[in-house]
Amino acid sequence: MAVTDEAIEKIKAMITTGALRAGDRLPREADLAAQLGLSRSSLREAVRALALVNILDVRRGDGTYVTSLDPHLLLEALSFIVDFHRDDTVMEFLRVRRILEPAATAMAAELITEEQCGGLRVLLDSLGSDPDADDLVANDLEFHRRIAAYSGNTVLCSLLETLSGPTTRARVWRGLTQAGTKEQTIAEHRAILEALVSHQPEVARSWSTVHIAGVEQWLASVP
C-alpha cells in the first residue's frame, strides 16, 4: 500500500470508529502524524485527498475539520464524475435510474403528507396542457426531485439527483421528436401522483417504472 493510501486509511479509520466525529477539528499536523506513525508530508497528501471528496474541510488559518458527512455533500464527488459521462452511457444511467427511482417512489407513497401531495398537484397544474419541451422537462425534474426527497432516504435522494443530469438531454430530445410525449408524460405524472395520494406503494412503484422505461425504450429505438 502506498504511503499516502495508508495515511488516508488511518484517517478514515479514526472517523469510522468515532475517534473523530462530524464537525471535529483534527489534531495539529505534527501531533496527528506522530499519533498515526506517519510523516507530515504523507499526512498532508492524505488530508488533501480527503478534502477533495468532502470528508475533510481545510480552513486556512483555522485548522482541518471533519465535515458534516452529509450524504449529499459526500456524493458531490460522484456528481463530478458523472459530469464526464459519454452519450453512449446515457442508457446505463437510465437503467440505474429505473432500478432506484421506483423504490424511492414506493417509499414516498408510505410517508407523503397531504400538504406534500397538494404541492405536487400545484406543480403539475402549473405546466398547462401544451408546454414546450424545456418546460416539460424542468417540471419533470422537479416532480421527481420532490418525490425522491419524500422517500425519507437522503442517500437515495442524493443518488437520484446525481443520476438525473445525464438523462436530461435525452428527455428533452424525446419531448421534441416523439409524437404524444407531452400528453403521455403528463398522464403518467398524474397517475404517479394519484398513487401517492392514496398511499399505494406498489401502484406508485409500477407507474414510476413504466414512466422511466418509456424514455429508455424510446432511446433504444433511436438509430
Q: What is the CATH number of the domain that holds 48?
A: 1.10.10.10
User: Are 53 and 132 part of one and the same domain?
Assistant: no
Rounded to whole angstroms, how far apart are CA atoms 142 and 123? Answer: 8
Mean pLDDT of the chain: 85
pLDDT at 106 over 90: yes
Report whether 133 contacts 175 (CB < 8 A): yes
Task: Grade residue 90 by pLDDT with cuts at 50, 70 and 90.
Answer: confident
For residues 203-209, average pLDDT = 96
- In the chain, pLDDT over 90 holds for what percent of residues? 51
How many beta carbons lie within 10 A of that of residue 162, not counting itself? 20
Could you tell me if 42 and 149 lie in one domain?
no
108-117, 128-137, 171-180, 203-212: least confidently modelled range: 171-180
Shared domain check, 104 and 10? no
Do residue 95 and residue 129 come from a single domain? yes
Question: Can you tell me the distance from the alpha carbon of 170 to that of 114, in angstroms, rounded to the nearest whole number?
Answer: 32
Residues 167 and 98 reside in one and the same domain:
yes
Q: Would the pLDDT of 83 be above 60?
A: no
Residues 106 and 55 occupy one common structural domain? no
Is the same domain home to 98 and 64?
Answer: no
Q: Any idea which of 152-156, 166-170, 183-187, 189-193 has the lowest mean pLDDT?
A: 166-170
The pLDDT of 137-149, averaged and rounded, is 92
* Residues 48 and 72 sit within 8 Å (Cβ to Cβ): no
Q: Domain check: are 111 and 25 in the same one?
A: no
CATH of the domain at 93: 1.20.120.530
Pair 50, 92 in one domain: no
Indicate if 96 and 63 belong to the same structural domain. no
Q: Which range marks the domain in which residue 192 is found?
A: 74-221
Range with lowest mean pLDDT among 2-6, 30-34, 56-60, 165-169 = 165-169
Give the pLDDT mean for 127-144. Answer: 86
Q: How many domains does one find in the chain? A: 2
